[in-house]
Structure 1
Amino acid sequence: MAAAELIELWRGGLRESAHLGHAVICDGKGIVEAWGDPGAVIFPRSSCKMIQALPLVDSGAADAAGLSSEELALACASHNGAEIHTRRVSAWLDRLGLAESDLRCGAHLPNDPAERRRLTCSETAPCQIHNNCSGKHAGFLTLNRHLGGGAEYVELDHPVQRAVRDAFEAETGETVAGWGIDGCSAPNFAVTVAGLARAMAGFAQPGADRRGQARRRLVEAMIAHPELVAGEGRACTEMMRAARGRAALKTGAEAVFVAILPERGLGVALKVADGATRGSEAAIAALMVHLDIFDEKDPVVQKYLSGPLRNWRGLATGELRRASGFPR
């Protein structure tokens, strides 16, 4: 099956561009609705961090380390590298007796404007704690200490990544189709869009067993601390705040987005084929309206979907629209 048109860009009364992709809504029994090809194989990138964090919790490593709900949210985060993020990750590592040098995620300038400005003006280089995945990697290190693995915890055959792969296949119900190296150097496992949505439905209906309790704790942590999962001005944070406890949402690089809807028992996954974040943010906003999580007039919907696009002078230049056949 081909990718479906999901989101259009209109300018001057003409359709200028279109974002094609795949979107799936699942419940505990399977696919409820789909657009494009549910069997399209994708890299979920950072949208799957709650799956990557499952072994941390259900192994007992999180409790052995006394992790808080804030730290569990950071384990699922692609954060801005703001002070609220870096301070908590630093304290987490300190409590474990570990250092920034134990991380294997690499360093980059933070996305948070204040922290970026502080580093630039002081001519201070960013460190690995500024990496948007440093919380996930602190989780890997916590699990690694529990498992007794070696220092190179991002290697494919390391006990940490074997545990992550096992969790990934169990949650998606699929054998992974392949793997690649993510931006933070950890393996990222390829699955179908339907498999990713199926996994999110599992988080929405977590069950009462040990794995189910781990799913529930991670979702509750994300919903309780949306500012730690991403940061100010970010779609994940703003959409979770707008959802008011009814959904956990997580983006991934190359225009992947997922949502977990505990009250509805639904999981959502989408991939915009051109990799444009603009398209994935608009598409997930449209699906959240479709599923009655957001009202069409909610400011977050106006920002990411239905509000006008403006140029540098503030002039309205165009608008995003749902493509014909994508839910309204």
Structure 2
Amino acid sequence: MTQPIPMVEIWRGDLLESQHMGHAVVCDADGQVVESWGDDEKVIYPRSSCKMLQALPLIESGAADAYGLTPEHLALSCASHQGAAIHTDRVQVWLNDLGLSVSDFRCGPQKPSDKDAHEALVRAGKEPCQIHNNCSGKHSGFLTLNKHLGTGSEYGEVDHPVQRAARASFEEMTGETAEFYGIDGCSAPNFSTSVTGLARAMARMAKPSGTGVRAQAATRLVDAMRAHPDLVAGEGRACTELMRAMDGKVAIKTGAEAVFVAILPEQGLGMALKIVDGGTRAAEAAIAALLVKYGVLDANHPMARKRMHGPILNWNGLNTGHIRISPAFI
């Protein structure tokens, strides 16, 4: 099938009000498709779901060890955090340890999505800065690699050695040559791949081949994400809540425009999905359904039910409808 399939339904009363269509693939570590829905060769931008691939050169180059990076640093390098103190305090220390400042970032300022952090800025009469950007951890990793390489300050440019290294890792892990690239929300290039390529890369993160530098780097990043789900996203976020619900056995990562991936080390599997209309709630529901299907998430866990069957409440707190996984999907 080359068309997207219905994955998530939105019901209001007894009427199916909306449907979210999408594509999804599960791959094994040999790069073979285990199961797919929709068009498994659909070319997409993975957006932030591929941050762990972009972080591979940080370890492989020796930069991570040269600057004493811990699993917390590595988790932040893969994060789309919400700008809470638990994130920004650590990023600030990281910059200080590098002898750099917020002005060295190229990700741009962003209002923190964490309520407490946002209110603290308002009370203090301060504006958000680049450290609040949800990608400041990834950019701290870029800056660390850049300092280790001794290259120019514009590390976000597509032809900069930092981004050339990120692209090489991305293409090697997906097994595909990126036909396109776009500029992400944080101003770094984001390279295209098929949904299968993205799932293949996640499977290779789940069960790296051999014991070389690449395998060690992949394992360290995945272990860091699983150990620190609070740093990967934040309180109330799907990545954090679902990783906790799976007791740290699986690493998952969202990306803008409704991309979601999962890394299952014990099963040696990788998952990737894309909701065509870019609806985040649908991507969260769909990844939860896949994780339930493959036995790593309890369908009755409150965090699973929240995503897959959650009620839709209006401003008056009335239950007006619910989310449901489409029978055409799982």
Normalised by the shorter chain, which TM-score bucket? over 0.9
- Say yes or no: does 1:89 pair with 2:94: no
Contact 2:29–2:208 (CA under 8 A) maintained in structure 1:
no
Q: Deviations over 1:151-210 (max 9, x none)?
A: 000001000000000001000000002000000000000110000000000011023111
Query: Partner residue of 2:256?
Result: 253
Q: When the two structures are superposed, what TM-score results if normalisation uses the length of structure 1?
A: 0.98
Superposition map of 1:149-168 within 5 A: 149-168=151-170
Q: Offset at 1:28?
A: 1.7
Q: Deviations over 1:237-276 (max 9, x none)?
A: 0010001122000000000000000011100000000001
Q: 1:285 aligns with which of 270, 285, 288?
A: 288
Distance in 2, matches of 1:321 and 1:177, equals 35
Query: Partner residue of 1:181?
Result: 183
Query: Partner residue of 2:203?
Result: 201
Q: 1:112 aligns with which of 114, 118, 121?
A: 114
Q: Offset at 1:33?
A: 0.5
Aligned residue type for 1:79: H
Aligned residue type for 2:15: L
Distance in 2, matches of 1:39 and 1:193, equals 6
Distance in 2, matches of 1:123 and 1:313, equals 32
Q: Offset at 1:87?
A: 0.7
Q: Deviations over 1:96-153 (max 9, x none)?
A: 1011000000001101100100101221011100000000000000000111110000
Distance in 1, matches of 2:322 and 2:199, equals 28
Query: Partner residue of 1:133?
Result: 135
| Aligned-pair identity (%) | 61
Aligned residue type for 1:279: A
Query: Partner residue of 1:227?
Result: 230
- Say yes or no: does 1:12 pair with 2:13: yes
SS at match of 2:152: coil
Distance in 2, matches of 1:145 and 1:53, equals 15
Aligned residue type for 2:6: E
Query: Partner residue of 1:326?
Result: 329
Aligned residue type for 1:295: D
Query: Partner residue of 2:276?
Result: 273
- What are the ranges of 5 or more consecutive residues in structure 1 without an aligned counterpart? none
- What are the ranges of 5 or more consecutive residues in structure 2 without an aligned counterpart? none
Query: Partner residue of 1:31?
Result: 33
RMSD after superposition:
0.8
Compare 3-12 and 66-75 and name the one that shifted more. 3-12
Superposition map of 1:54-65 within 5 A: 54-65=56-67
Distance in 2, matches of 1:166 and 1:122, equals 43
Q: When the two structures are superposed, what TM-score results if normalisation uses the length of structure 2?
A: 0.98
Q: Deviations over 1:30-74 (max 9, x none)?
A: 100000001000000000000000000111110001001000000
Q: Offset at 1:313?
A: 2.3
Distance in 1, matches of 2:319 and 2:179, equals 44
Aligned residue type for 2:289: A
Query: Partner residue of 1:214?
Result: 217
Distance in 1, matches of 2:25 and 2:63, equals 33
The count of corresponding residues between Structure 1 and Structure 2 is 327
Distance in 2, matches of 1:296 and 1:133, equals 31
Aligned residue type for 1:27: D
SS at match of 1:7: strand
Query: Partner residue of 2:126?
Result: 124
